[in-house]
Chains A and B, each alone.
Chain A
């Protein structure tokens, strides 16, 4: 059974159709890249999978391990293993990152009927992961993303991915606003999380990121549809030719 199956998905925002029958199948262990010009609906797809309010699904379905994802509340989707790394992670003033991590992790575990982490186990786990991501401990004491640099915010997303151990990670424009060094640290973090049980969907406008996170399958999106899929060489091809050809095809 596929991990994620998006079938003929049609989505409207404020009476306007944004996705017009989108198909996508992702299996465990695979890394997919979704590329496409600005406004083609990449973020919309990621939001609908995660359950962000404000989108109206007018047709099609999304199955997660065969279960109807659209019937689940967004927090339940998270507990089931859907993780969305945001393009612009928000700031939550006054809520220490450590508190946030712990609250979220325990909420997910509770929803799955698992026991909450003990404080020492939790601290041990956070320390390990944050060390590998080059996240200093004092950053964890600060408010969630408050005053974090672009790179720190993205590393904080990867840190959460590592802690929550989701089976589907969707990364929306992880490279935006990062310089090469910051991008490398974040990408290394993501690669370290790659496993045969976990799938990644990497959304990006640029080919650059895919030098660091190498996809098995590349999809090209245009005007609310997947218009072409292929191997990793498709990304290089796009880099050379641009998106113009697909704009016409769509």
Chain B
């Protein structure tokens, strides 16, 4: 069934189909429409879940931790300041190995106040132990939110999983979205109520007890192994989802002329569309250029990216995140992928689209020209009007 939905409503429809037991969230622009829609679903009885209307994001994450610890399927969503306010407890969720699913509608951080998109909030989670997807359309928000449950609750993973998407350009923009019928969703998602790592009074145990160094490192190593397993599990989930829904997600990234280009753009999120248009125009003029969009950001697809970079002479990493005093997270990951592969393409990192600035096709072409003219290292693209 097709429905015309914004990215945020697409998330709410996916959550309705995933049938969580407990939802908890706190309002913040641009995330709010998700929880408004979910409240409607709960109040109308369309979704049989408890909605805990907490007094802060810190409490929202804590509430889903409490719920997940006793076996409930859960959902929460936030943005920017809200994500940072719940930051401490996000790490708790991962350490406790609770398969919470969260939507993060990316938004710049203040000051100055800004409600527009930037991925700085998303990147701040990169070492927390969450599996992290980034969607570039309402359809992907829907599809990846469902896959998030498939990955999070997989017995080899048991890690919280988040899906990010851009403020307004995706969160508030209506697009046709193909929904997956409920019976098919039920078959795709793990069975509810069978998860093993659950607190039970019949078999009392403590979750999170103080661990001395020799135990702590082993527990943390378990988390690393789970994250490594998530690579395979996400691939499988993406393939299975493709079989059921006709949209294949078995690759952690999306490629446009990746393998056969001298210069490769690497992007994430909604600015990609303009990048793809730039690639088309440049190729018409005979330029050898392609684009890879990262969809699964953690665990980072080092091997896939490394393979793409083998044939490329140069890479332009477009980061929609303010970074100061160091390379942006995405550039660092891309270059690590190259180094691990033993290849050394020239790299230009471009910080662009900060605080919601449009990144247009012409901007991508400009970045390409700069690269061709020999620009390497890091630069900001102020752009705009």
Check if A and B associate.
no
